[in-house]
Amino acid sequence: MNPDTEIRHLLDLMPASGRMMARLIANPRQSTVIQCEFPLPWKTTRPILINFDLWKQLSRPQRDLLLLRTVSWVTNVQWFKPDWNQGIVVAGIVGVGVQFMQQDAVGVLLAGGLAAIGVRRVWQANQRSEMELEADDIAIRVATRRGYEEAIAAAALAEAIEVVATIEGRRGLSFMELVRCQHLKAIANSYKGHN
Protein backbone atom coordinates (compact mmCIF):
# COMPACT_ATOMS: atom_id res chain seq x y z
CA MET A 1 0.00 0.00 0.00
CA ASN A 2 1.32 3.38 -1.01
CA PRO A 3 0.76 5.75 1.96
CA ASP A 4 0.60 8.85 -0.27
CA THR A 5 -2.15 7.35 -2.45
CA GLU A 6 -4.07 6.18 0.61
CA ILE A 7 -3.77 9.58 2.30
CA ARG A 8 -5.13 11.26 -0.86
CA HIS A 9 -8.10 8.87 -0.83
CA LEU A 10 -8.74 9.50 2.86
CA LEU A 11 -8.56 13.27 2.41
CA ASP A 12 -11.15 13.02 -0.37
CA LEU A 13 -13.33 10.92 1.92
CA MET A 14 -13.22 13.34 4.86
CA PRO A 15 -15.79 16.09 5.35
CA ALA A 16 -14.59 19.66 4.81
CA SER A 17 -14.38 20.32 8.56
CA GLY A 18 -12.09 17.31 8.92
CA ARG A 19 -9.82 18.47 6.11
CA MET A 20 -9.47 21.85 7.81
CA MET A 21 -8.68 20.51 11.28
CA ALA A 22 -7.21 17.01 10.96
CA ARG A 23 -3.78 16.20 9.60
CA LEU A 24 -3.02 12.64 8.49
CA ILE A 25 0.52 11.47 9.30
CA ALA A 26 2.16 8.12 8.49
CA ASN A 27 3.84 6.66 11.57
CA PRO A 28 5.19 3.15 10.93
CA ARG A 29 6.71 2.92 14.41
CA GLN A 30 3.48 3.06 16.41
CA SER A 31 1.96 -0.18 17.68
CA THR A 32 -1.61 0.98 17.06
CA VAL A 33 -3.40 1.08 13.71
CA ILE A 34 -4.69 4.63 14.10
CA GLN A 35 -4.07 7.05 16.93
CA CYS A 36 -4.88 10.62 17.87
CA GLU A 37 -4.45 12.65 21.01
CA PHE A 38 -7.34 14.23 22.86
CA PRO A 39 -7.83 17.59 21.10
CA LEU A 40 -6.69 20.45 23.30
CA PRO A 41 -8.17 23.94 22.81
CA TRP A 42 -4.93 25.73 21.92
CA LYS A 43 -4.01 23.31 19.10
CA THR A 44 -5.42 24.37 15.75
CA THR A 45 -4.55 21.15 13.92
CA ARG A 46 -5.37 17.70 15.17
CA PRO A 47 -2.86 15.08 13.99
CA ILE A 48 -4.11 11.58 13.22
CA LEU A 49 -1.27 9.04 13.12
CA ILE A 50 -1.68 5.92 10.96
CA ASN A 51 0.56 2.86 10.79
CA PHE A 52 0.00 1.90 7.15
CA ASP A 53 1.66 -1.51 7.61
CA LEU A 54 -1.16 -2.39 10.02
CA TRP A 55 -3.77 -0.26 8.22
CA LYS A 56 -3.57 -2.37 5.06
CA GLN A 57 -4.84 -5.41 7.00
CA LEU A 58 -8.29 -3.80 7.16
CA SER A 59 -10.75 -3.94 4.26
CA ARG A 60 -11.53 -0.72 2.34
CA PRO A 61 -14.91 -0.14 4.09
CA GLN A 62 -13.31 -0.79 7.50
CA ARG A 63 -10.50 1.68 6.75
CA ASP A 64 -12.90 4.31 5.45
CA LEU A 65 -15.23 4.07 8.43
CA LEU A 66 -12.40 3.94 10.96
CA LEU A 67 -10.92 7.11 9.51
CA LEU A 68 -14.30 8.88 9.34
CA ARG A 69 -14.99 7.91 12.94
CA THR A 70 -11.62 9.19 14.14
CA VAL A 71 -12.07 12.47 12.26
CA SER A 72 -15.61 12.80 13.63
CA TRP A 73 -14.34 12.32 17.17
CA VAL A 74 -11.50 14.86 16.95
CA THR A 75 -13.72 17.48 15.30
CA ASN A 76 -16.66 16.85 17.66
CA VAL A 77 -14.74 17.86 20.80
CA GLN A 78 -15.86 21.42 21.49
CA TRP A 79 -14.09 23.53 24.04
CA PHE A 80 -15.72 26.85 23.19
CA LYS A 81 -19.48 26.53 22.95
CA PRO A 82 -21.81 28.73 25.00
CA ASP A 83 -23.32 26.75 27.88
CA TRP A 84 -23.40 26.79 31.68
CA ASN A 85 -19.97 25.25 32.04
CA GLN A 86 -18.42 27.89 29.81
CA GLY A 87 -20.25 30.56 31.82
CA ILE A 88 -18.77 29.22 35.06
CA VAL A 89 -15.26 29.38 33.56
CA VAL A 90 -15.75 32.94 32.32
CA ALA A 91 -17.27 34.06 35.65
CA GLY A 92 -14.34 32.50 37.52
CA ILE A 93 -11.74 34.16 35.31
CA VAL A 94 -13.45 37.56 35.55
CA GLY A 95 -13.73 37.08 39.30
CA VAL A 96 -10.02 36.31 39.59
CA GLY A 97 -9.20 39.50 37.67
CA VAL A 98 -11.50 41.66 39.79
CA GLN A 99 -10.34 40.14 43.08
CA PHE A 100 -6.70 40.41 42.03
CA MET A 101 -7.13 44.14 41.27
CA GLN A 102 -8.76 44.57 44.69
CA GLN A 103 -5.88 42.61 46.24
CA ASP A 104 -8.27 40.21 47.94
CA ALA A 105 -6.38 36.89 48.30
CA VAL A 106 -9.43 34.98 49.55
CA GLY A 107 -11.52 36.32 46.66
CA VAL A 108 -8.83 35.31 44.16
CA LEU A 109 -8.79 31.78 45.62
CA LEU A 110 -12.57 31.49 45.53
CA ALA A 111 -12.86 32.82 41.97
CA GLY A 112 -9.94 30.60 40.88
CA GLY A 113 -11.72 27.62 42.42
CA LEU A 114 -14.88 28.51 40.50
CA ALA A 115 -12.90 28.73 37.24
CA ALA A 116 -11.23 25.37 37.99
CA ILE A 117 -14.62 23.76 38.60
CA GLY A 118 -15.84 25.13 35.27
CA VAL A 119 -12.76 23.86 33.40
CA ARG A 120 -13.17 20.43 34.99
CA ARG A 121 -16.83 20.27 33.95
CA VAL A 122 -15.95 21.25 30.36
CA TRP A 123 -13.25 18.53 30.34
CA GLN A 124 -15.71 15.95 31.66
CA ALA A 125 -18.35 16.95 29.10
CA ASN A 126 -15.83 16.29 26.32
CA GLN A 127 -14.76 12.95 27.86
CA ARG A 128 -18.23 11.45 28.36
CA SER A 129 -19.08 8.12 26.77
CA GLU A 130 -21.87 9.67 24.68
CA MET A 131 -19.15 11.49 22.70
CA GLU A 132 -17.86 8.11 21.51
CA LEU A 133 -21.31 7.04 20.29
CA GLU A 134 -21.95 10.45 18.72
CA ALA A 135 -18.68 10.16 16.78
CA ASP A 136 -19.80 6.75 15.46
CA ASP A 137 -23.16 8.19 14.38
CA ILE A 138 -21.53 11.17 12.67
CA ALA A 139 -19.12 8.86 10.83
CA ILE A 140 -22.03 6.78 9.55
CA ARG A 141 -23.88 9.90 8.37
CA VAL A 142 -20.78 11.12 6.50
CA ALA A 143 -20.29 7.65 5.01
CA THR A 144 -23.86 7.64 3.66
CA ARG A 145 -23.07 10.91 1.88
CA ARG A 146 -20.01 9.16 0.41
CA GLY A 147 -22.04 6.31 -1.10
CA TYR A 148 -22.23 3.77 1.73
CA GLU A 149 -25.53 2.32 2.89
CA GLU A 150 -26.20 2.96 6.57
CA ALA A 151 -26.27 -0.75 7.53
CA ILE A 152 -23.05 -1.48 5.63
CA ALA A 153 -21.31 1.52 7.19
CA ALA A 154 -22.38 0.56 10.73
CA ALA A 155 -21.36 -3.08 10.19
CA ALA A 156 -17.99 -2.06 8.69
CA LEU A 157 -17.20 0.19 11.66
CA ALA A 158 -18.17 -2.53 14.16
CA GLU A 159 -15.94 -5.00 12.27
CA ALA A 160 -13.11 -2.46 12.19
CA ILE A 161 -13.22 -2.06 15.99
CA GLU A 162 -12.93 -5.83 16.42
CA VAL A 163 -10.26 -6.30 13.74
CA VAL A 164 -8.11 -3.46 15.10
CA ALA A 165 -8.07 -5.11 18.54
CA THR A 166 -6.83 -8.34 16.92
CA ILE A 167 -4.21 -6.58 14.76
CA GLU A 168 -2.88 -4.71 17.79
CA GLY A 169 -2.61 -7.97 19.75
CA ARG A 170 -5.03 -6.93 22.48
CA ARG A 171 -6.71 -9.67 24.50
CA GLY A 172 -10.16 -8.24 23.90
CA LEU A 173 -12.23 -5.12 23.48
CA SER A 174 -12.47 -2.42 26.13
CA PHE A 175 -15.82 -1.79 27.78
CA MET A 176 -16.43 1.28 25.62
CA GLU A 177 -15.52 -0.63 22.45
CA LEU A 178 -18.04 -3.34 23.41
CA VAL A 179 -20.74 -0.70 23.94
CA ARG A 180 -19.89 0.90 20.59
CA CYS A 181 -20.01 -2.46 18.78
CA GLN A 182 -23.42 -3.25 20.28
CA HIS A 183 -24.69 0.18 19.25
CA LEU A 184 -23.34 -0.19 15.69
CA LYS A 185 -24.69 -3.73 15.28
CA ALA A 186 -28.09 -2.52 16.47
CA ILE A 187 -28.01 0.20 13.80
CA ALA A 188 -27.02 -2.32 11.12
CA ASN A 189 -29.71 -4.83 12.19
CA SER A 190 -32.50 -2.26 12.53
CA TYR A 191 -31.74 -0.92 9.08
CA LYS A 192 -31.74 -4.43 7.59
CA GLY A 193 -35.05 -5.13 9.34
CA HIS A 194 -36.70 -2.21 7.57
CA ASN A 195 -35.74 -3.56 4.11
Q: What is the pTM of this model?
A: 0.75
| 146, amino acid identity | R
Higher pLDDT, 96 or 5: 5
Q: Say if residue 118's pLDDT is above 80.
A: no
Using one digit for the tens of pLDDT, what is the confidence trace for 53-67?
A: 999 999 999 999 999
Please state the domain count of the chain: 1
Question: Beta partners for 48?
Answer: 24, 36
* Closest to 57 in 3D by CA, of 20, 18, 14, 6: 6
Provide the mean pLDDT of the chain.
85
Specify whether the CB–CB gap between 160 and 62 falls below 8 A. yes
CA distance 107 to 134: 39
- Specify if 12 maps to a domain: no
pLDDT(109) > 60: yes
**144 located within any domain:** yes
What's the pLDDT at 71?
93
22: β partners = 46
Question: Do the domain assignments include residue 106?
Answer: no
**Stretch 54-82: mean pLDDT:** 86
